Amino acid sequence: MIASKTAMDSSLNIQLYENALSNSALAFESLEREVQYLLPEDCKVKIRGKEYAVPRQLCAFGDEGLTYTFSGLTVNCQSWTPLLLEIKAQVESLTGVEYNFVLINRYKDGSCCIGQHKDNEVDLDDSCPIASLSLGETRTMVFKRPKFNDHRIELKDNSLLLMRPPTNQYWTHGIPPEKKRSGVRLNLTFRRISPNGSRMKRKASTPSEGGDSKKQKQDSTKVSTFL
């Protein structure tokens, strides 16, 4: 049976589902065999003019012609596999949302991480909830917002975290290193992105967090990274 819990506090609009897939063990094993990730030399991002290696493996799948760009790295989508289409169908049935793209991140152990960031890349349809499926090792996701207490949530095997608007306008999220975690975690983040890299219309300004527009722009640059 699927269980879920919802957190709504100061624009943090998230819902966590347990037992998201009908056979998560088989999905994990199959993904470990089938998925081809970007080579290390092709998996680097640029932040303030400097190049950094991404501290985890990643790749993308989606509809024909889609690409995804973040921090100066453009990822071309591989074609959907039968397995990923089956997983996508289960995610869509659970959430009631249709997706055309999935980014897969592989965390080999607790040393792999992702820094605090907002999913606010121009390719994203920011009216669409983001569904983040976790398989394998449990890891902790941390949500942060200035002047608010941090919100921590454990992402266990076969859990699905749904982030609805306006979460990404106000809160950053990340997966910090955890030395006690030794197993592999696969994260499949289902999104809806614009065809051919075209930009969805966004509001001209980000809702204020109490600072001026220059400070907000600097903060956005700082957190919109995948390190």
Tens digit of each residue's pLDDT (9 = 90 or more) over 7-30: 666 699 999 999 999 999 999 999
**In the chain, % of residues over pLDDT 90:** 62
Q: What does the pLDDT read at residue 184?
A: 97
Residue 220 clears pLDDT 60, i.e. is over it: no
Domain spanning 4-196: which superfamily?
Answer: Alpha-ketoglutarate-dependent dioxygenase AlkB-like (2.60.120.590)
Residue 225 clears pLDDT 50, i.e. is over it: no
Residue 4 clears pLDDT 80, i.e. is over it: no
Distances in Å between the Cα of 3 and the Cα atoms of 18, 19, 42, 86, 154 are: 5, 7, 39, 21, 15
